[in-house]
Structure 1
Amino acid sequence: MCSETTRYRDDEVAILLAGVGKTFYRYERPIDRLLLQFKALSGHARFDTISGLKPLDLTIRRGEVVGLVGRNGAGKSTLLQLVCNTLSPSSGEVTVNGKIAALLELGSGFNPEFTGRENVYMSAAIAGLSRRQVQEKFEEIHAFSGIGDFIDQPVKTYSSGMYVRLAFAVATSVEPDILVVDEALSVGDGAFARKSFDRIMALRDSGATILFCSHSLYQVENLCDRALWVEGGEILADDSPSIVIPRYEQFLLGESKQSHGVRESAAEEQRRVTPEGSARLLATTILVDGKAPDARYPAISGESTLEVEIRFASDPALACPGVAVTISTPSGQIVTSSGSWEEGVSLAREANGEGRLSICFPELALLKGEYHVGAYLFCERGLHSYEWVDPVGGFHVTQDSVARGVVRLPHRWQAHTPGSTPNG
């Protein structure tokens, strides 16, 4: 299904795709690529085609923050590369109004033989900055990247995190009208992720158009005001994130019944050190009626109290982080979740940055079955996660009734006498 192009004034449109599609060719022999270029010989070429993106129409307005979700290979990166003009469309026309800066897949944009400094000047010049403008911004770019003396080393010696930090610093410093980010920030550490999202928020507040591709659905839902679900080279959904994300999650659940992966904790000796510029989970405790859950102490539906306590450590120089807890089924379907920042809960910390927070579920409304608990540590606005462990533990629920399902919702039965009105 293609998204329909809505009519906007020309000065409102940042990106316009009209019938844009992309087809890739796979050749049996190297010479087939050449034969295909000549009409007289094209019939002798041996190849097959792969549809990277089916023809579609798409309009993105100035100032919109659009998130792209979809599985690997769905066509998200192809769509972004067409917008950035690093790929040419096989059909249709792409129109981009404004200066664009892109942070695409790791490895693109920089010359690995050049030093970081040389790549900064080259990339900024390509983005339209004069040498004097680059000189004025260079110290800011260098400081934001945090790579220190490596700025004068060849980029090929950089780690993936150093590469992304410098590339992001350059892309956002040129004050783009349109910023495109394709999963690259996922390799950054927690401290840099925080700085990155602060800068993205600043660009959003200044009116920049942002295309943000991420597998972190939480980030898409919190950062974006519009979401596109791409699957099989098509846009299956184009709406607000609150509508698109649940549909996509339900699709993923139907595709795979496997549980969410477990994020392993760091070594205990590392946990004792207060993180600089970041935050981390220290411990999570699950209690059912005051006891650690096991086969001897199951939770009783409608009666037991479930308590989850989370200990964390964060850089005291940063704002106090936010904590979230999820309860899910073994298949990975989230039954409920709660974030401290959404409910206005103020967290307190010791002078060394350590803190503790607990959440209580009285008269547990879950019906019989196995359940998992996940613990998440976010920035104070809930935009990006410092660390998460899901599942961190589990518990079992029993019940006396024969009710089926996952949760017992508050309800009221009312019997009507014969001849009475429905509301009587």
Structure 2
Amino acid sequence: MSFDAPIISLKHVSKSFKMYEKPIDRLKQSILRKKTYKEFWSLKNISMSLHKGQTIGIIGKNGSGKSTLLQIIAQTLQPTDGEVVINGRIAALLELGSGFNPEFTGRENVIMNGAINGFSPTEIKNRMDSIEEFADIGEFIDQPVKTYSSGMFVRLAFSCAIHVNPDILIVDEALAVGDMQFQLKCIEKMKAFKNEGKTILFVSHDGYSIRNFCDEAIWMIDGQIHQRGDANTVTKNYEDFMKFGLDTETKDDTIEPEKNASTHVISIDKVEFKNEIGEIKKDFEFDEDVYVEMSYRQFKEQEFLVGGIALFDRQGTYICGLNTKLDGYELPNVPGKYKLILKYEKIKLLPGTYSVDVGFFESSGLVRLDYKARYESFRVSSNKYFAEGITFIDHKWDFER
């Protein structure tokens, strides 16, 4: 892909914050002019450029500098060192509540947001109906924002962000607080922005979402860009690091699959394992065909539905993940009862117990419509001892003198 001049350019950008041990140390600092703080460098010498039309995912543990980087790009924070050049209008959906005055009504905040983005009163008025319609919060548009639920807040904030006609859209996981229907609505809008050639920065802990929506990914560690490249490679490396890396304090930062996450779009009813003649069974022989049959109900029309099944061993090792999008297999998009069947041909798994995650997603993979983790399991056995590990690889031996 070829790009024009960078729409975002950062050169040697660093950001430090003053960390005080006690509140009184701030007073001592101002009166005595004595250093009573420690410097924490949230970003360290970041240089990068982004071009028009790129969709970039940013991944990393909590505290790695992701949000600070986005705030500097959105120009709500100023860097301590370095240069930031932005060539376009930015709309940013960062931490919940940023940019809104809680004492103002939703409508007043919309007007203020539009004025900050350079729109005249007439332009704001012309956009108001569309903003109200997309946010869909009804009469609460004229109530103080401090009375809003988190879901209502993000509805209005996202609606404001997309209606300023941005060249650059920044989303920092704020959509996670919205209900499923609104998430789908937002994803469709983000996909439309992507098709229009706008630049999108998307922060998530979920590698699957980034792989399915983004062209590239940036993995951050301790305020620095650890790796940048194609989304599949970077997210896989990040996931391996989170599982097997040197840092052992990562459990709170990983996102577990949503269990029993029925969304009134689709619901998984049951999963059964069958042999080639359709018998339900839990025990299979090595080299036998295994059919995984997932029964589900679809309640609403959903275009480009993606179904997937992931296979794990007893220790939780991720063996193989398959989905209909990767294989180019199209599922029905109209309501009804269905069975999605995956055939593992002549399974080469070595004796042991194996479990499956099953799930359905919308087309970009950003929203789980229903997901059940370690939902069912089956066993593989063999009366022969011929290899060790997880799976058998066809092979032959040879010898040369």
Flag whether TM exceeds 0.5 (same fold). Answer: yes
Identity of matched residues, % = 36
Q: How does 1:52-131 map to 2 (within 5 A)?
A: 52-131=42-121
Aligned to 2:392: 408
**Preserved contact between residue 293 and residue 339 of structure 2 (Cα < 8 Å):** no
Change (3 A) 1:180 1:320: closer
SS of equivalent residue, structure 2 residue 100 = coil
1:25 paired residue among 18, 43, 49: 18
Is 1:164 matched up with 2:149? no
Q: CA deviation at 1:156?
A: 1.4
User: When the two structures are aligned, how many residues end up with a matched partner?
Assistant: 392
SS of equivalent residue, structure 1 residue 112 = coil
Unaligned runs of 5+ residues in structure 1 are 1-7, 419-424
Alpha-carbon distance between aligned partners in 2 of 1:372 and 1:231, rounded to the nearest angstrom: 32
Q: TM-score when scaled to structure 2? A: 0.89
**Preserved contact between residue 268 and residue 370 of structure 2 (Cα < 8 Å):** no
Per-residue CA deviations over 1:317-343 (Å, capped at 9, x if unaligned) read x32622111112344442111112332
**Preserved contact between residue 213 and residue 364 of structure 2 (Cα < 8 Å):** no
Letter in 1 for 2:338: G
Is 1:13 matched up with 2:6? yes
Is 1:314 matched up with 2:295? no
Q: CA deviation at 1:58?
A: 1.1
SS of equivalent residue, structure 1 residue 360 = strand
Is 1:345 matched up with 2:325? no
Aligned to 1:357: 340
**Preserved contact between residue 341 and residue 382 of structure 1 (Cα < 8 Å):** no
Alpha-carbon distance between aligned partners in 2 of 1:50 and 1:122, rounded to the nearest angstrom: 33
**Preserved contact between residue 100 and residue 177 of structure 1 (Cα < 8 Å):** yes
Change (3 A) 1:348 1:210: closer
Is 1:285 matched up with 2:247? no
Aligned to 1:422: none
Alpha-carbon distance between aligned partners in 1 of 2:168 and 2:256, rounded to the nearest angstrom: 34
Per-residue CA deviations over 1:244-280 (Å, capped at 9, x if unaligned) read 01111110111569798463426xxxx7xx93xxx23
1:243 paired residue among 196, 221, 233: 233
Is 1:334 matched up with 2:318? yes
**Preserved contact between residue 253 and residue 332 of structure 1 (Cα < 8 Å):** no
Letter in 2 for 1:28: E
Alpha-carbon distance between aligned partners in 2 of 1:386 and 1:225, rounded to the nearest angstrom: 23
SS of equivalent residue, structure 1 residue 181 = strand
Aligned to 1:211: 201
Alpha-carbon distance between aligned partners in 2 of 1:175 and 1:302, rounded to the nearest angstrom: 56
SS of equivalent residue, structure 1 residue 405 = coil
Q: How does 1:120-269 map to 2 (within 5 A)?
A: 120-255=110-245, 261=256, 263-265=258-260
Q: Which moved more, 1:51-60 or 1:303-312?
A: 303-312
Q: Which moved more, 1:253-262 or 1:141-150?
A: 253-262
**Preserved contact between residue 288 and residue 299 of structure 1 (Cα < 8 Å):** no
Q: TM-score when scaled to structure 1? A: 0.84
Aligned to 2:355: 372
Unaligned runs of 5+ residues in structure 2 are none
Change (3 A) 1:305 1:355: closer
SS of equivalent residue, structure 1 residue 245 = helix
SS of equivalent residue, structure 2 residue 69 = helix
Letter in 2 for 1:263: E
Letter in 2 for 1:372: S
SS of equivalent residue, structure 2 residue 388 = coil
Is 1:389 matched up with 2:375? no
Alpha-carbon distance between aligned partners in 1 of 2:255 and 2:148, rounded to the nearest angstrom: 32
SS of equivalent residue, structure 1 residue 227 = strand
**Preserved contact between residue 29 and residue 46 of structure 1 (Cα < 8 Å):** no
Q: CA deviation at 1:37?
A: 6.1
Alpha-carbon distance between aligned partners in 1 of 2:65 and 2:288, rounded to the nearest angstrom: 48
Letter in 2 for 1:393: E
Alpha-carbon distance between aligned partners in 1 of 2:305 and 2:100, rounded to the nearest angstrom: 34
